[in-house]
Amino acid sequence: MNTRQLLKVSVLTVLASFSFAVSGNAKVNVSPDDYKVVLSLQKVIEAVAEEVRPAVVDITSVTTVKFQHPAIPPEFKDFFREFGFPMPQFPDVPQEFEKKSLGSGFIVKVKDGWAYILTNNHVVDKAKKIKVKLYNGDIYTAKVVGKDPKTDVALIKIKVGNKKVPVVRLGDSDKIKIGEFVIAIGNPYRLDGSVTHGIISAKGRHGLGLNPIENFIQTDAAINPGNSGGPLCDIYGRVIGINTAIVRNAQGLGFAVPINIAKKVMNDLLKYGKVIRGWLGVYIENVSPDVASKFGIKRGVMVTKVMKGSPADKGGLRSGDIIVSYNGKPVKGVSDLQLKVINTKPGEKVKIEIIRDGKRKVLTVKIGQMPQQEMVASALSTLGLSVQKLTPELKEKFGVPKGISGLVVTDVKPGTPADDAGLKVGDIIISAGTEPQNLKPVKDVDEFAKLVEKAKDKGVLLKVYRNGFSFFVVLKVEE
């Protein structure tokens, strides 16, 4: 009996057995069969908790945070110079301090005396020391096997020798359905082995501005700080996701990375030492409903530009083509196609069905490997920001004076960190840095993307020009 059938039987049985008296005090009659139905549901959750909890670990990562003294205003500097006083020093203020972060993880395999643990990248990112506590209380120092900031997945390992440690079973996140029961396990606020349950509220959530690559499972199972990196399981105890994020000041809005994405990251890290992703080399946008109706389709993506020399270029794709299927599977939208491509092994030939000039056509394209610059530039998409080098043509288009140079903002997605920072299309990013003291002119998109990728945890300070005025904003991904 599957989840839906079990739920249906439960509801019908309970409703049928409840009889209410006509008098003011309602009386409920419950039969032994009613308790059997409820107990069967309870036993499922108990069984999952009993199997999975021992494989869930507590992760403590230690990072070093550098402290910078507040800048002394120029007028005070002039005062000290004029009267010959020495500049104030701060000898007792520490230059750096250690910060501890808490999270969860789960053991996925044991090989050659090492236990491998999946968790979130943000749980162990930039950590100089990682401690892992097992369910039985044993504590180990962990090593990072590899990290993937694009999906927020990391793989770490601990040396367990000949000790037997429990391992979870991994499920298939492509087969999950909205409404299915799920169980989340983790260590919120250091409350080890906490178990919550709920349902899958939605699939394929993207555009949240959390990761460059987003395809989240949404759940109403309670997830709190410290749950990050823990498993989201189905009713059979199989892990179908990694609990990753919550929406602040909201209830029932938790998100998990699908386990199939995490499995690919893990396998690539173990085999290649890095994540290998497919690359097509096109700029695309969703087809509007009106355009889709004219072409007799429900969904698809429009190719707006093909990169010269890319796999798409070599395979015959052109600007204006509408991609409707990829390797025999319908293309639902931009994010769907992106996921399909990056999960394709470089070198594999795929069939791409397009509509060109009203006629359907199937192209065979050999997928390439994503260039490093493409992966770095995707950091900007996480913030909902698109920029271009400020050319003479763009200067004329946006009415920018001759003395202004930098990068022009060409797109800002609503509800993203770029939007929250107040950036608008046509703004000119003149300079950027992590602090006022290290602001530097920005002229290259790749260099700017690298700066954002490197400093997004503490934010990037931008000097922006707009309509004759200059001002500062901080671009930062909120945790």
Tokens 């190719």 belong to residue: 303
Decide if 434 is inside a domain: yes
Rounded mean pLDDT of 424-437?
88
* Residue 433 structure tokens: 């840095």
Tokens 């020495």 belong to residue: 86
364 with 385, same domain: the answer is no
CATH number reported for the structural domain that contains residue 78 in this entry: 2.40.10.10
Higher pLDDT, 187 or 11: 187
66 with 46, same domain: the answer is no
Q: Are strands 181-186 and 231-233 parallel, antiparallel or unpaired?
A: antiparallel
Decide if 165 is inside a domain: no
Q: Please write the tens of the pLDDT for every residue from 387-411.
A: 887 877 777 777 888 888 888 888 7
180 with 234, same domain: the answer is yes
* Residue 358 structure tokens: 């009203």
356 with 385, same domain: the answer is no
pLDDT at 143: 93
Q: Please write the tens of the pLDDT for every residue from 260-269.
A: 999 999 999 9
178 with 246, same domain: the answer is yes
Decide if 330 is inside a domain: yes
Decide if 166 is inside a domain: no
Statement: residue 129 has pLDDT above 70: yes
* Residue 463 structure tokens: 């000097």
Decide if 167 is inside a domain: no
pLDDT interval class at 208 (50, 70, 90): confident
Q: Please write the tens of the pLDDT for every residue from 304-340.
A: 888 888 999 999 999 899 999 999 999 988 888 988 9
35 with 83, same domain: the answer is no
Q: What is the CA radius of gyration of the chain?
A: 27
**Do residues 149 and 127 touch, judged by C-beta distance below 8 A?**
no
Rounded mean pLDDT of 330-352?
90
144 with 218, same domain: the answer is no
66 with 108, same domain: the answer is yes
Q: Please write the tens of the pLDDT for every residue from 21-41.
A: 344 456 778 888 888 888 888
pLDDT interval class at 479 (50, 70, 90): very low
Alpha-carbon distances, residue 229 vs 146, 176, 225, 374, 479 (angstroms) = 15, 20, 10, 27, 14
Q: At what angle do helices 32-52 and 3-17 cross, to 10 degrees?
A: 150
Decide if 197 is inside a domain: yes
Alpha-carbon distances, residue 382 vs 2, 404, 476 (angstroms) = 38, 27, 10
Decide if 128 is inside a domain: yes
Provide the 10 A C-beta neighbour count for residue 53.
Answer: 18
Residue 465 CA to residue 476 CA, distance in Å, equals 19
Look up the domain containing 342 and give its range. 278-369
Domain end among 223, 248, 272: 272
- The mean predicted confidence, pLDDT, of the chain is 82
Higher pLDDT, 121 or 447: 121
SS3 314: helix
Statement: residue 49 has pLDDT above 90: yes
CA angle 241, 244, 248 (to 5 degrees): 135
Alpha-helical segments (H) within 135-250? none
Statement: residue 70 has pLDDT above 70: no
Cross-strand partners of 170: 239
Higher pLDDT, 272 or 52: 52
DSSP type of residue 458: T
Q: What amino acid occupies position 348?
A: E
Residue 69 counted as an annotated binding residue = no
Tally of domains in the chain: 5
Residue 122 counted as an annotated binding residue = yes
Higher pLDDT, 242 or 6: 242
Q: Please write the tens of the pLDDT for every residue from 258-299.
A: 999 999 999 999 988 888 889 998 888 888 888 888 888 888
pLDDT at 22: 41
240 with 178, same domain: the answer is yes
Statement: residue 147 has pLDDT above 60: yes
Domain end among 159, 185, 203: 159
190 with 136, same domain: the answer is no
Statement: residue 7 has pLDDT above 80: no
CATH number reported for the structural domain that contains residue 289 in this entry: 2.30.42.10
Among 283, 227, 263, smallest CA distance to 148 is for 263
Q: What amino acid positions are annotated as catalytic residues?
A: 122, 152, 228
For the chain, the helix, strand and coil percentages under 3-state DSSP, each to the nearest 5: 25, 35, 40
SS3 372: helix
Residue 120 counted as an annotated binding residue = no
Decide if 358 is inside a domain: yes
Handedness of CA 339, 156, 110, 272 (dihedral sign): positive
Domain end among 369, 404, 428: 369
210 with 300, same domain: the answer is no
Residue 377 CA to residue 209 CA, distance in Å, equals 14
379 with 446, same domain: the answer is yes
